[in-house]
Amino acid sequence: MTIDRNNLHSALLRLDGRGYKAYKDIKGSYNFPDFTLIIDRVQGDPFAAPSNLRLLVPQSIALFPPKLYRSPSREIALRDFLTRQFDRASRKISIRRGTGKSGLISIARTGQEVLDRSSVFIDDNNIEVRFLVGLPARGRTILGRQAAEMLCEDIPEIVSTVLLYSSIDSREIQNHVETVEDACWLRQNLSEKGLVAFVANGSILPRRSGVDPRPLLDDAVAFTSPKSLEVEFNCPNRGLIKGMGIPQGVTLIVGGGYHGKSTLLRAIELGVYDRIPSDGREFVTTNPAAVKIRAEDGRSIAGVDISPFINQLPQGRSTESFSTPNASGSTSQAANIIEALEAGAGLLLVDEDTAATNFMIRDRRMQQLIAKNKEPITPFIDKVRQLYEDCGVSTILVMGGSGDYFEVADTVIAMDNFQPHDVTEKAKAIAKEHINDRIPEGGNNFGKITPRVPLPESIDPSRGRREVKLKVRDVDEVAFGTEDIDLAAVEQIVDTGQLKAIAEAIVYAKEKYLDKKRTLPEILDLVMGDIDSYGLDVLTNFPQGDLALFRRFELAAALDRLRSLKVLPSGKV
Ligand code: ADP
Ligand code: MG
């Protein structure tokens, strides 16, 4: 049943002066001249998580041209655009109106990435917007007049300034959807050209600072592809675009310190996502199955077969089903690779800055001093080609410190003063001239990846009397039941909304699909398939606006870092 706007107004005035709990009465649906306002959940007090509201604006009033959302990527871009518009308008209008969160009007926070979010939806009938409101009070006493101002005046004003097509800059909106559609198209067309990544000429890769992801302004050197690696695409909207194509296989990024190697890799790493038009990296696109790999000592590992990399540990510990609450640099990096492969990675990205040296290289002299049977680690250099040839998994590696990798690379890119050069021929010639005499240690093949079976009883989201207690701290940490999952090293989680959705997805997977038989990749397929078919709402029991889509790799990474996780040993199913 939908109630008239005027009834909401008078109801709020009547609530003035009463105890906060009386706000519960306003749950429901209200007709405004241009939209419907739905109050889904009312907060318990002014300090609690703010109330969940929704707006439905009929297309007969909003009038967004269907061409702005006719393809899946355009639709995501338009929804992202409207989220940003709503954010801007609500920041301007919302003022403190009492205790705690009183007066707040807010929507999901956005960054440089354009993600599929649950904050705004659009189809031929409606625009739906989900947002939060801090219902105002002084202490615990309802401020009814202020509430009426917020819901009956401020919200209609936001609708009229940002949710009607006629009130929005149509060129800006078109540029937003066309940019995202082109980037998405580029990503989909990489493999057809035998590429794993593309960096458009003119891209601005460096960021303003370590904590400010916007593009560097003044001294940024724009990217220009070396001629030998230059490729051309004909995008659906902007037409021809040129840039550097990184071919499948093993690619090395070399160059002196501070010449832009890590900045290039970071841009590639985030090229699995679409970006806003002003980002500078909006046409840097990467194989969607790219996973950043790094050392992460201290993480827990649950039953991972790291034997392709690590064998014969001291005290005869097995590495075919390796568990530890406190991994070393090299074992953590090995587990990160095997887990990524288990989840279906197609491209690994490694930066020497965050890699374990003894995992990456073992040179001729060290081979002579420490015999192979005294060194549990088979270094990555002896596995990286097998990874490509046996498993079809490419690698892009930043490696300024060891020329031993020249032998195993297909492509070598040198960064010099922030500009790339193709030095493949030169590196190959040097490798021939200075034979390094290393003894290959990798064996005949990469080795098997045996998927694990996660055990449902080892995943417990409860805390105290609450059956499910999840709390996202920032992009690095989520409280899952009584445990904090540390995701600081999972660099491709870029948004708190992703983390919130991942935590919900773990609970969903446990309830629906963990049956002590299904393997982790099978579970990932099922969960991602459900989200694809039914949307992120499938994860929660009422419509929430703060979820953002994540990849299967980050869902797996969060589960892999749950310290309580237990699995059936690989291969014992
Ligand atoms: P490396 O990994 O080769 O040591 P980084 O990628 O960390 O180098 O870059 C070093 C510094 O140079 C960083 O502060 C980065 O922001 C800046 N930088 C990187 N690329 C560019 C560029 N194209 N233009 C201007 N500054 C850049
Ligand atoms: Mg670096």
Q: Give CA–CA dist 215/207, Å, rounded.
A: 5
Q: What are the respective helix, strand and coil percentages of the chain, to the nearest 5?
A: 40, 25, 40
The pLDDT, as a whole number, for residue 475 is 86
157: how many CB neighbours lie within 10 A of its CB? 12
Q: Which residues surround ligand 2, an ion (CB under 5 A)?
A: 261-262, 353
Please give the mean pLDDT across all residues of the chain. 96
Q: Give the pLDDT confidence of 492-551 residue by residue, as tens digits.
A: 999 999 999 999 999 999 999 999 999 999 999 999 999 999 999 999 988 999 999 999
Atom of ligand 1 minimally distant from the CA of 265: 6
Bridge-partner residues for 373, per DSSP?
none
Q: Which tens digit of pLDDT belongs to each residue from 404-427?
A: 999 999 999 999 999 999 999 999
- Which atom of ligand 1 approaches the CA of 419 most closely? 23
Give the pLDDT mean for 92-119.
96
Q: How far is the CA of 219 from the centre of ligand 1 (A)?
A: 11
> At 479, phi and psi to the nearest 5?
-85, 120
Tell me the CA–centroid distance for residue 265 and ligand 2, in Å.
9
Nearest to 164 by CA among 93, 89, 106: 89
pLDDT of residue 313: 86
- DSSP assignment of 252-315: EEEE-TTSSHHHHHHHHHGGGSEE-GGGS-TTEEE-TTEEEE---TT--EEEE--TTTB---GG
pTM, two decimals, is 0.96
For the residues 268-288, what does the mean pLDDT come to? 98
Q: Whose CA is nearest to atom 4 of ligand 1?
A: 258
CA of 262 to the centre of ligand 2 (A): 4
Q: How confident is the model at residue 213 (pLDDT cuts 50, 70, 90)?
A: very high
Whether pLDDT at 572 is above 60: no
Q: Which atom of ligand 1 is nearest to the CA of 400?
A: 3
CA of 206 to the centre of ligand 1 (A): 6
Q: Is the confidence at residue 104, as pLDDT, over 80?
A: yes
Task: Please state the length of the chain.
Answer: 573
Digit-coded pLDDT (tens) for 163-184: 999 999 999 999 999 999 999 9
Asked if residues 303 and 322 have their Cβ atoms less than 8 Å apart, the reply is: yes
- SS3 track for 390-442: HHCCEEEEECCCCHHHHHHCCEEEEEECCEEEECHHHHHHHHHHCCCCCCCCC
pLDDT reading at 573 higher than 80: no
Distance (Å, rounded) from C-alpha 162 to C-alpha 184?
Answer: 26
Residue list, ligand 1 pocket, CB within 6 Å: 205-206, 216, 219-221, 255, 257-263, 415, 418
Closest ligand 1 atom to residue 219 Cα is: 25
Pocket test for ligand 1, best of 219, 258, 417 (most atoms within 8 A of CB): 258
Cα separation, 44 vs 50, in Å, equals: 9
Q: Which residue has the tokens 């009929």?
A: 58
Q: What is the pLDDT of residue 4?
A: 87
Q: What is the mean pLDDT of residues 84-103?
A: 95
